[in-house]
Structure 1
């Protein structure tokens, strides 16, 4: 009994280390995705990645008590299926955004998703959002506008792609919270992987392209890093409270910026740096308010 309690203790330093490690893996994953999607169809790249993810999910479920039958059991199959399709589609949109805008600009916009979660938590989950959090949301979206830098009142369509990705990911997160009221984490994880793989297969096979041997090596690394990143994140939330480690998820932008500059020759424009600072600051304030409220 003592060992079980220790395993569930709130070890914040270990949680922070795991979160930072996860952000490094996810940034690497973004870089590989950008490389592959620059040469091959996005649907195909994400499909192969999801095949590995689905295999990982099925292997985890098969080893758990009750096996695959217990993992798949749900009273809300339509909701779970929609979650799976939504996340698969969001990843395709995000990867496509990398090919249009690069890692730095795409992720600078995408990091507004915690603000979208806060803004949508009322209509989706019925949670109350106070004026302080609404103010933070407003500041964050001013930051997004600075990043997008609309010219003549018209947005660059390419710049909206990561914003759409952020909205889809925020909605996915809220629906995951909603599903958790009646389903276990294992069930949601199972449906996310299996439904996402099935959905993407229908599009990915149609857009299949021959891949070179070196790029197959990158694809294998992408698949392994995806599973490893999820494991790090799950382990992170097992050893520490989410509210304590979530602010360190913003390191994802730091690593992606380093990768974008050193590998892809990207630059950090002043408006992107200023806008991202506003978005991150607003996001941290929102997390702090949520923790105090909790």
Structure 2
């Protein structure tokens, strides 16, 4: 297999793992509060990635955690965790997952508006088309509208803020530390819901404890395979495979939760996937073209 083919297979595996994690969390939310789930999963992920970072050559750089960008990134991570998990618990898995796929479009918009990166008419068009797909799914003011859709939209905005901030962080702040601190932010967000929101803490049964462990394992598997895929493959080649998460989510929604996404929802999901995939492919192509044209030793940032 070529590197791009291996990367595509790993990306698809990672997206399947994320979809399974979402499905398990939705099931768990029926008997365990959102706050408790975030506390347990956040502490578990923080412990695993923290131990990995501690054993790395650079070790734990605690002072990096108080960098304003890291603090803002973790705040966005906490908001996203609360909103998306709540959206999963009160709405359809397929709809929440479809809305989540608008992230690349919002990232492109944020990079243009906030960071001042150049965006051509093709990507502006893909953004407009993709957001039209979001409207088809959400359909505010109709009987098909689900309150959880608003929470999913807020989660996407928080994810975009997180990723835009990440682009501006110093290179010496490692991705392992960022991931461990992000899980810690999830745990803090869950604790806030438990203490301030009055959400109860219960002792999970063996089945629920096992499901939480498997859910965390799926999340870690998804993260690791996605990272490996982006390192060994070209972004433009593997970008479309990120949307396989939506396919897996729809299948799980139908088989596990008896969801029946209507034609408008499926059409909107397809539009978002197509527009987002094109935007990611176009950006990767432009960045590759800029790198090839850049003179040796040039420090100019790609557009």
Structure 2 length-normalised TM: 0.86
Contact 1:81 1:192 in 2 (8 A): no
1:60 equivalent in alignment to 2:36: no
Once the two structures are TM-superposed, the CA of residue 123 in structure 1 deviates from its matched residue by: 3.0
State the number of aligned residues: 283
Once the two structures are TM-superposed, the CA of residue 238 in structure 1 deviates from its matched residue by: 2.2
Match of 2:134 in 1: 144
Provide the secondary structure at the position in 2 that maps to 1:293. Answer: helix
Query: Which of 198, 218, 221 pairs up with 1:228?
Result: 221
Once the two structures are TM-superposed, the CA of residue 102 in structure 1 deviates from its matched residue by: 1.4
Match of 1:86 in 2: 76
Structure 1 residues 55-64 or 146-155, which shifts more? 146-155
1:13 equivalent in alignment to 2:15: no
1:111 equivalent in alignment to 2:101: yes
Quick one: distance in 1 between partners of 2:57 and 2:42?
24
Alpha-carbon spacing, 1:104–1:16, altered in 2? closer, same or farther (3 Å): same
Quick one: distance in 1 between partners of 2:88 and 2:65?
37
Contact 1:32 1:218 in 2 (8 A): yes
Match of 1:188 in 2: 178
The RMSD of aligned alpha carbons is 2.3
Provide the secondary structure at the position in 2 that maps to 1:263. Answer: helix
Alpha-carbon spacing, 1:216–1:115, altered in 2? closer, same or farther (3 Å): same
Match of 1:200 in 2: 190
Unaligned runs of 5+ in 2: 288-303
1:178-217, CA deviations, whole angstroms, 9 ceiling, x for partnerless residues? 2155633334334323444344334446632232221111
Match of 1:257 in 2: 250
Structure 1 length-normalised TM: 0.88
Contact 1:139 1:279 in 2 (8 A): yes
Alpha-carbon spacing, 1:159–1:199, altered in 2? closer, same or farther (3 Å): closer
Extract structure 1 runs of 4+ deviating beyond 6 A. 152-155
1:46 equivalent in alignment to 2:43: no
